[in-house]
Structure 1
Amino acid sequence: MQTLFSIAACQQVVHIQPMVRFQNPPAGLSIDRFFSRNKDKVVIVMGATGTGKSRLAIDLALKYSAEIINSDKMQVYKGLDTLTNKVTEEECKGVPHHLLGTVDPESNFTVNDFKHHASLAIESILERDRLPIIAGGSNSYIEALVDEHPEFRRRYECCFLWVDVTPRVLNSFVSERVDRMVEVGGLVDEVRRMFDPTADEEDYSTGIKKAIGVPEMHHYLRGEACGNDEETQEALLMEAISNIKKNTRTLAHRQLQKIHRLRSKWNWSMHRLDATEAFLNRRRGREGDRVWEKQVARPATVIVSKFLVDPMSTILPHDTTFWLLQHGRL
């Protein structure tokens, strides 16, 4: 398989102070801290769909000399940019992204493919003295990379940031996002362009056709090709949109369950960042941005800054924002 890096032009970013490499543990430094410091550093941003993982990853990349590796199963494929909610060129703000919209949409990009190409991307980023940030909602990709890759934990120290939003608030946001995709983003036209009306039955088990929103549109587009009347088509479209919302909410629930399982299974130092208030204020312009900065971006920056200097010191209680506020760090 060809190399799948997708590098955008990167704007000027602030470089962090390089890590000091020690040949032997300095006096007073434990063996654990010594080996932790000597590993290369990787930041991993996790969370359910729609919680703002890409936004946080870009916020962090602009504060450090960083590049982002996409770990979303559907966003790795070319096409369906609106449906899969890929970040736009404007939203990237010049930050280089890897494995974003680079894979043939008809192929199957497996967990092993991700492990291989993400590892290559990490090494490429580190060779340029930049910080790798992995961001995406496909926790099985992250689990495989971190847990099943023999060399990964030996070579890298990870900082896990979990962007969380209360389910009730997230469900409302997800539904609104689907409506915007339909009304403004052209979701129906995107799926229509890849739909084959001559096929007896579409196969939704491979490539980008597995994305939520493609199978759900089947009956509507089939009815359109068969010449259904307007009233029937309107009902089929409403049903498709309802199913997209329902299946996206189900996905978010499963992703959240997986995050809880991973945190318990390995006792990862996973730092929870509660973005609920920021989502509740998202329609308030600058006020929403201020809340995001206070509740999510700034605490994440504190955590990453400490992690880059001394990874062992970033093992904080799970609700990071609360801890930082209680201890006067914000």
Structure 2
Amino acid sequence: MKRLLSACKEITVPSISMSFPGRINMESFLPRNRKDKVVIVMGATGTGKSRLSIDLATKFPAEIINSDKMQVYKGLDIATNKVTDDECHGIAHHLLGFVDPNVDFTADDFRHEASLVVESIVANDRIPIIVGGSNSFIKALVHNNIEFQSRYCCCFLWVHVSLPVLQSFVSKRVDRMVQSGLVDEIQRFYNPKLTNSKIGLRRAIGVPELDHFFKNENSENLKEAINKIKANTCKLASRQLQNILSLQTQMEWDLHHLDATEVFLKHGFEADEAWERLVARPSGLIVRDFLYEERDFPKIMNTNSVITPPSMTTAVNAIAAVAR
């Protein structure tokens, strides 16, 4: 057998041509084995990755897989900025808050667990959307996994915000987290016997920074701790951005760049309009073209539609657009 490979398809053709009398070539009747498709949403912390993944999952029949290395742990929902039930809009989320906070969940662990979830989602004729800022998890799943590469074709969406604008935003976000009960949440998690440990969820930004405050509670120590949380969150955003640029160069991934900077410079309705124009609508078109190739399906999509694909595990010949 010889294999003809393309970016998103794998076609298997017999090495010996088969034909009936009259020279009808049977190769033209052989079924095509297509790689199943996976959408991956990348970006630094605070850029709106979760929002985009949920936007996409309301337009396409999809389920979301978390790839944030702190959000996989149970607990500290405020500190790790997990999406709330209301924000999920009924979209299924996987690998979110399921790991014991006192153990280390590694990139290899993620590769194993995510592979199983992707397989399950695809088997149910739905689209996996992997979202998170932990680029080492994405690399382990996609690049360091030959089986994954042989079975799936990936569409990479990169939500980017200018670093100075993003750093200002994440600093304000820390203030909102404090108002939402961040300090009390971490204090309930705090264990003075384990303050020097860097295992599991204790590595989350906010836990080590508040250690000194819990030992010597006063307003100055709290202010200092909050400033450290802001500074370390900004450093994380910068590091994640550098990692994405490095992956783009090293892996030669085709990252679809979505610049959301303008969104973060506006407020209210204007910010929502900018998000739809600069991020949600363009990414929807990118994913539509990725999932439904022009020669197979009509290109039917609008921002108020749920697009239902045919079976992703068999040959497909049609697509229906169902109004929400």
Q: Normalising by structure 2, what TM-score? A: 0.80
For residue 131 of structure 2, the aligned residue among 125, 132, 135 is 135
1:154 Cα deviation (Å)?
A: 1.0
Instruction: Please report how far the alpha carbon of residue 22 of structure 1 lies from its aligned counterpart in structure 2 after TM superposition.
Output: 7.3
Query: In the alignment, what sits opposite 2:191?
Result: 196
- Tell me the equivalent position of 2:148: 152
Q: Does the CA contact (< 8 Å) of 1:204 and 1:215 recur in 2?
A: no
User: How many residues end up aligned between the 2 structures?
Assistant: 272
Contact 2:143 2:251 in 1 (8 A): no
Contact 2:35/2:151 (8 A) holds in 1: yes
Equivalent runs, 1:1-330 vs 2, <5 Å: 38-183=34-179, 185-197=180-192, 199=193, 202-224=195-217, 233-281=218-266, 283=267, 285-310=268-293
Q: Which amino acid aligns with 1:291?
A: A
CA contact (8 A) 1:69 1:118 kept: yes
How many percent identity over aligned positions? 58
Contact 1:40/1:155, CA 8 A, preserved across alignment:
yes
Supply the AA of the counterpart residue of 1:137. G
Contact 2:111-2:141 at 8 Å conserved across structures: yes
Structure 2 residues without counterparts, runs of 5 or longer? 1-7, 15-30, 295-324
1:269 Cα offset (Å): 0.9
Contact 1:68 1:98 survives alignment (8 Å): yes
CA displacement, residues 89-128 of structure 1 (integer Å, 9 cap, x when unaligned): 0000000000001111111111111000000000110011
Q: CA deviation at 1:309?
A: 2.2
Instruction: Give secondary structure in 1 for the equivalent of 2:41.
Output: strand
Q: Distance in 2 between matches of 1:170 and 1:137?
A: 14
Deviations 1:119-162 (A, max 9, x none): 00001100110000000000000011111112011110000000
The structure whose Rg is larger is 2
Contact 1:74-1:84 within 8 A present in 2 as well: yes
Provide the alpha-carbon RMSD of the alignment: 2.2
Quick check: 2:10–2:35 contact (8 Å CA) kept in 1?
no
Q: Write the distance in 2 (CA, Å) between the matches of 1:78 and 1:196.
A: 16
Equivalent position of 2:19 in the other structure: none
1:213–1:244 contact (8 Å) kept in structure 2: yes
- What residue number does 1:318 align with? none
Q: Which has the higher strand share?
A: 2
Q: CA deviation at 1:286?
A: 2.1
TM-score by length of 1: 0.79
Do the aligned partners of 1:163 and 1:275 also contact (CA within 8 Å) in 2? yes
